Structure 1
């Protein structure tokens, strides 16, 4: 991020990619939806094996527009009806937070004297992922157009990647074949968001009780 922070050059979007299996079309689709939706953050969905089939992975970071954790089961990912209608139709929807293996962020989020930075939790703050804290900071600074794109599904295992590319899971309207863009009707965000803290030193999994923090 150093070139962006210290350069006079103008940047449009920053793309973050985790250690996932992906195709070029996945990146292009996120970039396309980022611009089409005027989003501040646009992310994929990342999957792992869950009871023999694909399941949603990053429940530690991802939060729906009501501030609640997503579930692992793809057919009941969220309790929010608007989210689930879009999910079942493979259309983008608004979230409070997401990262999920690949994220495209509008570069203006990082710019200016008050530009946001990734950080660790402050003393007394719920020790969430730096991605979660970044999303919370975005909302506090008015960057509230965060979008998840269910047609972009990424995996950490090639077995699951091959599974979701079968016709049963891979939609017929692959990237760039939609006749027009369906714009998201952005809603106000939640006043509180669920946080599962990582309190222990060198812990790899959240070890604290779930709490709700103010936005």
Structure 2
């Protein structure tokens, strides 16, 4: 008799647990924010390892920015697997673009549409990464520690959403080139997707060039692509065999090729021809939001776009930092409005003056200290907003130096070409501060502050002191710096 009651109790408990799980699933499924679905449920099907594969766990390689400067920080992330075979070369230089003629489906009903090119990462690890990306508000998803971001977006940025509403076109085009990025991908992609949700996914597109990673970066992006498309945004995913740092390569030329490849959908949309599914996709005043492999928050993205639009700029940049926000990173490609590097680099190539930014540009220094935007000759800073039309029309593109031209980085050459075409409204925004790992981003936010620490994100208009008085002409001369110990001065255009 006692045993019968025991089994009856077990059965009743199982029934109650089943009902509770069902109700919980319905709550999660119906949950939404800003009117758009957040997919925390089952992932789309992802090919599993072959049964014979027995990968060993290890920490994925921490991504470093494409720079001569070596990073020393680390980042916590979900363990990946030791590669059991090399990248399949048949996946080189592939385009996985959305099928524009078909309506987006929810991830639960989407077929795979792709297969793993390698055994670099398991289904379980991919699932953890994607879940962390979609779970924006959680600063510490299981297995992840990432920079904390504000859970609410200020009303300051509502105008950006309103400007695109009803157009039926893409207004905001996110572009990235990523390789070995699992160390930063969780917060990076989570913040981008959250910004897209706010702006309206139907008015956003994202284009990523992935560069033969062996840490699972491609596999995570391929799984994430289906969720982004189910939101209503367009996701262009491309692989590339270009290796900018390979021996004998022209690094700037190769980096330029990767950036241009990320912008290829813009060029295709502007091309004339009998069949062009991308024709008319992008608004005539669409904006490019080019983002490096950085830790950032949605407010960083939105503030940079807000400044670009309201200042009527042609190029708008953030500030990127290393060593916990104490050392400005992109000094090689950045020049002030007097044509000099953001801090002085003497002939011995030392960085002993790195803390004295804008020492010979008093107005720039004042505005930098007050976290107000100001005009510069060139910049990048880990993220840049650009007018899309000149790129779509082929008026400008990323490039390397021509014969006889000073050796410069591709962002500086872009600024030079923009000035030549009367598009020299180039803006640096010191309220937006980024770093190249989550640990570094935490330190940078502690030292440099968040956007909302310096900006009233409830005010939808620029304060009078924020407004930049544009200088039409470039500086008389610009510092040429092929190497840090070999400076000279050249004409700006």
Q: Into which bin does the TM-score normalised by the smaller protein fall?
A: 0.7 to 0.9
Alpha-carbon separation, structure 2, partners of 1:31 and 1:16: 11
Q: Is the 8 A contact 1:76 1:84 kept in 2?
A: no
User: Residue 92 of structure 1 aligns with which residue?
Assistant: 373
What is the alpha-carbon distance in structure 1 between the residues aligned to residue 325 and residue 316 of structure 2? Answer: 25
Rg larger for:
2
- Residue 20 (str. 1) matches residue 294 (str. 2): yes
Q: Quickly say closer, same or farther: Cα 1:104–1:175, change in 2 above 3 A.
A: farther
Q: In the alignment, what sits opposite 1:190? A: 475
Find the residue that maps to 1:64 and give its secondary structure. Answer: coil
**Displaced runs of 4 or more, over 6 A:** none
| Alpha-carbon contact 1:25-1:175 (below 8 Å) kept | no
CA separation of 1:41 and 1:53: change in aligned 2, threshold 3 A = closer
Tell me the distance in 2 between the aligned counterparts of 1:116 and 1:53.
33
Choose the corresponding residue for 1:2, options 246, 264, 286: 264
Indicate conservation of the 8 Å contact 2:433/2:445, yes or no.
no
Cα distance in 2 for partners of 1:130, 1:163 equals 28
Question: RMSD between aligned alpha carbons?
Answer: 2.2
**TM-score, length of structure 2 as denominator length:** 0.39
Residues matched between the structures, number: 203
Contact 2:314–2:424 (8 Å) recurs in 1: yes
Deviation of 1:111 (Å): 4.3
**Alignment partners' CA distance in 1, 2:402 and 2:448:** 41
Distance 1:207 1:63 in 2: 14
Secondary structure at the residue paired with 1:90? coil
Task: Report the equivalent of 1:43.
Answer: 317
Identify the residue that residue 153 of structure 1 maps to in structure 2.
433
> Is 1:30 matched with 2:304?
yes
Structure with bigger RCO (C-alpha 8 Å, 6+ apart): 1
TM-score of the aligned structures, taking structure 1 as reference length: 0.86
Deviation, 1:112, is 3.6
1: CA distance, partners of 2:398 / 2:442: 33
Please tell me whether the aligned partners of residues 48 and 157 of structure 1 are also in contact (alpha carbons under 8 angstroms): no
Is the aligned partner of 1:134 residue 2:414? yes
Q: Which moved more, 1:70-79 or 1:54-63?
A: 70-79
Contact 1:29 1:175 in 2 (8 A): no
SS of residue paired to 1:45? strand
* More helix per residue: 2
Q: Is the 8 A contact 2:304 2:432 kept in 1?
A: yes
Closer, same or farther in 2 for the Cα pair 1:32/1:191, shift >3 Å? same
SS where residue 429 of structure 2 aligns?
Answer: strand
Aligned mate of 1:116, from 377, 385, 396: 396
Gaps (5+ residues) in structure 1? 198-205
Query: Could you list the per-position Cα deviations for residues 97-127 of structure 1 after superposition, in whole angstroms to 9, with x for gaps in the alignment?
Result: 00010000011332446x1011111111111
Residue ranges of structure 2 left out of the alignment (5+ in a row): 1-262, 271-279, 344-350
1:146 deviates by: 0.3
Q: 1:210 to 1:3 in 2, by over 3 A?
A: same
**Bigger Cα displacement from structure 2, 34-43 vs 5-14:** 5-14
1:178, distance to aligned residue in structure 2 (A): 4.7
SS at match of 1:7: helix
